[in-house]
Chain A
Amino acid sequence: MTEFLQQVINSLSLGSIYALIALGYTMVYGIIKLINFAHGEVYMVGAYVGYASMSFLKLGFFESLILAMIVCTVLGVVIERVAYRPLRNSTRIAALITAIGVSLLLQYTMMFFVGPDPRAYPPMPSFMNGSIDVGGVIIKNQQILIIGVSVFLMIVLQFIVKKTKMGKAMRAVSQDPDAARLMGISVDRTISFTFAIGSALAGAAGVLVGVYYNSIKPLMGIAVGLKAFIAAVFGGIGIIPGALIGGYVIGGSETLVSSLGYSMFKDGVVFAILILILIVKPAGLLGKNRKEKV
């Protein structure tokens, strides 16, 4: 039982990371139907910004988290402006290929500057290194932090999307960009805003991962980015609560597979879930099957 509860804690912290990144995929897809494969790299850049701000600027954890979110916001908006906006009216495959190009560009640019070796985050203040022992189940303060920060950011996101004017604009653009434009909504600004929020969340995830695992490297975004993408597809791509559920389901199933002693198959199982969901319910768990007019 203790072991089971411990694994639940493990899967919640892993799932939070996936969920944070999956939200960025889902929001961007929801609004311009583009799978932004560079998203995993924004997360990697966030991790490095957090590293730089803690080791060179000597900032604390929360300041570094906010700095990473700001830098990633700018990066996300720049990527959208430079790489995706000129292709707004071209085919979806062209945009997708561009996204992969941007992703490779960021990976290897970063590798050029920091080298391929993994780096360790600087030591954290003591309040973050401790842990709580609840009847044999050890909950690290960092795990509480990851889950706490993730849940907080998701609530903020939900608030922005549901309650603010910008959120309303986002929902409008995702339903019908032309109609939204007729209603006086600036479609370009709304799309930029979406990229900004998604990238900020990815940046936050990067710093959290750096603190939690204590190891960052230029190619860290590939595997996590793919899994977050699966999480988004699982929940129904374009649907925000779906990304959340997807993140926790993927984190949970990965942990479950390893905890049964099949750690070699954990990645395989995650991709099997992707294939299954695409066969059984292509629109995802919360997605509705919309009939397309032929």
Chain B
Amino acid sequence: MNLSRRTVLGATLGVAAVAATTACSAKPGGGGGGAAPAADEIKLGLNYELSGDVATYGQASAVGIKMAIEELNAKDGVGGKKIKLVEYDNKSDAAEATTLANKLMSQDKVLACMGPATSGGFKATIPVANKNKIPVVSGSATADDVTWDGKSVQEYAFRICFNDSFQGTVMAKFAAENLKGKTAVIIKDNSNDYSKGLATAFTEEFGKLGGSIAGEEAFVAGDTDFNTILTRIKGQTFDVIYLPGYYSEAGLIIKQARDLGITAPVLGGDGFDSPKLEELGGAAALNDVYFTNHYSSIDKDPKVVEFIEAFKKANNEEPNAFHALGYDLGHFVADAVSRASELTGEAVQKAMAETKGFVGVTGTFDVDEHHNPVKSIVVIGLKDGKQATSEKVG
């Protein structure tokens, strides 16, 4: 029963997607990837991980982008022109992403490219963008050095998500100000740059705010027994635990900590955002757990409520952060195109860099001189494993 319903749903979705694509390409003058773009449509490239290791991220982003573009096309397009998406699958492979970026820019003559979803893949397309003077934008590449390496900015690369170290900084603020924490213990995944980056940023900011780090423990992805390090922690005095890591270990750590009688709040990053967290940790253990995220599905902001409604209607599921980021990305690019003085990569790049007060589902933001958005971050609080509170911080 369940299975058949899902299959039917999948088939309907597939048909809908095909219909949408053909509807776009059936427009007069929309045929083929010719040398010059047709006068009455705007071509945008999609370079996503539709299969491979991180396909869930790429697929979700693409679904969000298409939803945004369909919305725009249903109205009036951008400046009276319909948007046409040229979509390719980079198979979660950085080299493939580079090839596809080249193809999109030189053969398909797109005005801007969206994706890939992960930092590694996205970085691989930036040199191509700079060479062709076509902007590339990612909705979810959060590594610190994507658009700005500390010395120079990648001229044609933009992103609309906050970076990793910002999550650590915000969580430190939240711990010190909202939770009134004075001392913290850090448990980090030593085999993961994301986890280490968040921990460093948290330590710095927490120190600036007058807090101190009572201890630091480390684990390696794939571990299952954390009782020993948790027993060590239990012997120390502290107010909060900062645990930047992915749900697969975080769920177990929280469960084992609660079992050992550690009741302090546990704070984490967007790696907690998965239904698996509740499954592995158990609903009873997931109280007083907070994590930073791009967006929260319980946000009462009218823009967010409207998006969730529309998304559920179109896709029959709750949107996750990648859907929301993809949706914002589609609107962000269209917005820049509509403000561009002419339809060239240079003009769109200029418009993107000048973005002020863009209103999206994942927050309102300006683009700063490093091509990062200046946006607030959502801190989600869990009660019995369910999202119970969400606060915008930063």
- Asked if B231 and A6 sit within 8 Å, CB to CB, the answer is yes
- Asked if A215 and B232 sit within 8 Å, CB to CB, the answer is no
Say yes or no: is A223 at the interface (Cβ < 8 Å to chain B): yes
Say yes or no: is B63 at the interface (Cβ < 8 Å to chain A): no
Say yes or no: is A53 at the interface (Cβ < 8 Å to chain B): no
How far is the CB of B10 from the nearest CB of chain A, in Å? 17
The complex places the Cα of A117 from the Cα of B282 at a distance, in Å, of: 17
Contact (A214, B231) CB under 8 Å given A138-B260, A264-B218: no
How far is the CB of B189 from the nearest CB of chain A, in Å? 11
- Asked if A14 and B225 sit within 8 Å, CB to CB, the answer is yes
The complex places the Cα of A220 from the Cα of B223 at a distance, in Å, of: 10
Q: Determine which of A7, A13, A14, A213 lies in contact with B231 in the assembled complex, contact meaning CB atoms within 8 Å.
A: A7
Say yes or no: is B143 at the interface (Cβ < 8 Å to chain A): no
Residue with the highest number of chain A CB atoms closer than 10 Å, among B225, B255, B279: B225
Q: Mark B227-258, 1 if CB is under 8 A from A, else 0.
A: 11101101100000000000010011001000
Interface size on A, residues (CB 8 A): 30
- Asked if B252 and A213 sit within 8 Å, CB to CB, the answer is yes
- Asked if A259 and B231 sit within 8 Å, CB to CB, the answer is yes
Say yes or no: is B220 at the interface (Cβ < 8 Å to chain A): yes
- Asked if A264 and B225 sit within 8 Å, CB to CB, the answer is no
Q: Determine which of A13, A118, A259 lies in contact with B276 in the assembled complex, contact meaning CB atoms within 8 Å.
A: A118
Q: Mark A1-27, 1 if CB is under 8 A from B, else 0.
A: 011001100110110000000000000
- Asked if B231 and A215 sit within 8 Å, CB to CB, the answer is no
The complex places the Cα of A123 from the Cα of B284 at a distance, in Å, of: 11
Say yes or no: is A97 at the interface (Cβ < 8 Å to chain B): no
Say yes or no: is B224 at the interface (Cβ < 8 Å to chain A): yes
Tell me the nearest residue of chain A to B222, going by C-beta.
Answer: A223
Q: Determine which of A2, A10, A118, A213 lies in contact with B228 in the assembled complex, contact meaning CB atoms within 8 Å.
A: A10
Say yes or no: is A120 at the interface (Cβ < 8 Å to chain B): yes
The complex places the Cα of A145 from the Cα of B255 at a distance, in Å, of: 18
The complex places the Cα of A242 from the Cα of B57 at a distance, in Å, of: 49
- Asked if B252 and A7 sit within 8 Å, CB to CB, the answer is no
The complex places the Cα of A223 from the Cα of B221 at a distance, in Å, of: 12
Say yes or no: is A174 at the interface (Cβ < 8 Å to chain B): no
The complex places the Cα of A255 from the Cα of B251 at a distance, in Å, of: 21
- Asked if A117 and B276 sit within 8 Å, CB to CB, the answer is yes
Chain B residues whose CB sits within 8 angstroms of the CB of A263 once the complex forms: 217-219, 228-229
Residue with the highest number of chain A CB atoms closer than 10 Å, among B227, B232, B261, B276: B227
- Asked if B280 and A214 sit within 8 Å, CB to CB, the answer is yes
Say yes or no: is A135 at the interface (Cβ < 8 Å to chain B): no
Say yes or no: is A258 at the interface (Cβ < 8 Å to chain B): yes
Q: Determine which of A118, A131, A140 lies in contact with B280 in the assembled complex, contact meaning CB atoms within 8 Å.
A: A118
Say yes or no: is B389 at the interface (Cβ < 8 Å to chain A): no
For window 1-60 of A, CB contacts with B under 8 Å fall at 2-3, 6-7, 10-11, 13-14
Q: Mark B269-301, 1 if CB is under 8 A from A, else 0.
A: 000000010011010000000000000000000
Chain B residues whose CB sits within 8 angstroms of the CB of A261 once the complex forms: 217, 232
- Asked if B190 and A264 sit within 8 Å, CB to CB, the answer is yes
Chain B residues whose CB sits within 8 angstroms of the CB of A11 once the complex forms: 228
Q: Determine which of B218, B261, B279, B280 lies in contact with A138 in the assembled complex, contact meaning CB atoms within 8 Å.
A: B261
Contact (A120, B279) CB under 8 Å given A213-B252, A261-B232: yes
- Asked if A214 and B234 sit within 8 Å, CB to CB, the answer is no
- Asked if A213 and B224 sit within 8 Å, CB to CB, the answer is yes
How far is the CB of B109 from the nearest CB of chain A, in Å? 39
Contact (A214, B218) CB under 8 Å given A118-B248, A259-B232: no
Say yes or no: is B384 at the interface (Cβ < 8 Å to chain A): no
How far is the CB of B281 from the nearest CB of chain A, in Å? 8
Chain B residues whose CB sits within 8 angstroms of the CB of A220 once the complex forms: 224
The complex places the Cα of A11 from the Cα of B234 at a distance, in Å, of: 16
Tell me the nearest residue of chain A to B216, going by C-beta.
Answer: A261
Say yes or no: is B259 at the interface (Cβ < 8 Å to chain A): yes
Chain B residues whose CB sits within 8 angstroms of the CB of A3 once the complex forms: 231-232, 234-235
Tell me the nearest residue of chain A to B247, going by C-beta.
Answer: A118
For window 233-262 of A, CB contacts with B under 8 Å fall at 254-255, 258-259, 261
Chain B residues whose CB sits within 8 angstroms of the CB of A214 once the complex forms: 252, 255, 280, 282
The complex places the Cα of A119 from the Cα of B224 at a distance, in Å, of: 12
Tell me the nearest residue of chain A to B248, going by C-beta.
Answer: A118
Tell me the nearest residue of chain A to B187, going by C-beta.
Answer: A263
Chain B residues whose CB sits within 8 angstroms of the CB of A119 once the complex forms: 279
- Asked if B228 and A7 sit within 8 Å, CB to CB, the answer is yes
Q: Mark A184-225, 1 if CB is under 8 A from B, else 0.
A: 000000000000000000000000010001110000100100
Q: Determine which of B220, B228, B252 lies in contact with A264 in the assembled complex, contact meaning CB atoms within 8 Å.
A: B220
Contact (A6, B255) CB under 8 Å given A120-B280, A263-B229, A264-B220: no
By Cβ-Cβ distance, the 5 closest A-B pairs, closest first, are: A258-B228, A120-B279, A10-B227, A213-B224, A3-B235
Q: Could you jot down 20 A-B contacts, CB within 8 Å?
A: A3-B235, A6-B231, A118-B280, A120-B279, A120-B280, A123-B282, A138-B261, A140-B259, A213-B225, A213-B252, A215-B224, A215-B252, A215-B280, A223-B222, A258-B228, A258-B232, A259-B228, A259-B231, A259-B232, A261-B217
Known contacts A10-B231, A120-B280, A259-B228; 6 further A-B pairs (Cβ under 8 A): A138-B260, A213-B252, A258-B229, A259-B231, A263-B229, A264-B218
